[in-house]
Structure 1
């Protein structure tokens, strides 16, 4: 019996093996296997601890001891990176002797967003996009008002060459005056018509008296 107790006290317990971590919505689900198999589960068993902390932070937390080979760390911040280590503790039922095992290697994982966080992101993206479009529309309107003369000049149709000049450019041997007079039809002079109305002397006197 004494030899058995000495053997248990000198036993080295390694860290849990085959650690797998699945990120969830504000949580981390951890699965692992025991450091070694126990032949008689009625004589000894393992307790497990998980030490975790936010990457870059100083405060470290430890989950309550548990006997299962899996645990879920809940109520974590979404989109944050958490680092963790798993530790096993071997306990003997009859002698109340325990051996604390080594910590596993540190591994870090990023949590996922929950439903409320995703909704907040959608709202923020929508508001940001609308604000950006409003600013761009206002800037374009201001530029149009400021440089409307230049814009009008850019989009203005360039003046066309008269047909007479264009024909002259095609055939420079023609006299320019003849080209300009070509296809020009003489216009009739416009005269104002004047009507002369004469009144008898008696009617003129009546008109003057009326005035």
Structure 2
């Protein structure tokens, strides 16, 4: 099997078509596939941390309505072990507090997985400029304030200090979000998550051009 990687090719807003042409003797076979990229996703980046599939739709008061892609651009960090994924997830049908709904949308929720670790990063390729970054946090396992505390740096500077999800929400499996602005000058947005007490964690990332 041959794999073609067009990592340097950026998709544009609207329909993007790739066409493959093969020849065998006198016969020519052509096939194509279309990718339809929403306008917002052409300039912004939405990542569902820990997710292996794309097309997850947020539809809640914290994140608004956006289409999130699978987990990408990360350095280090871990997915939750299989035993932990039943605490929060589509199969468990557990309500997540802070979202204004107890139903599970058909296309899934961007809060159902996460990436965690003592020190991990994301290096997200974006055009130079100013961005609003919104990070979604959910505490899947800790049941007391102070048990999980971490810092988030953006472009080398402190963006969120001593984040304690349980202290902020007052409950396990309760969602919250934090936003900040940062300026990118090197073609990539670098976010670093480092544990102060326990492991840092993030559920979703939204990077929106200002």
TM-score (norm: length of structure 2): 0.26
The structure with the largest strand share of the pair is 2
By percentage of residues, which structure has more helix?
1
Question: TM-score by structure 1 length?
Answer: 0.26
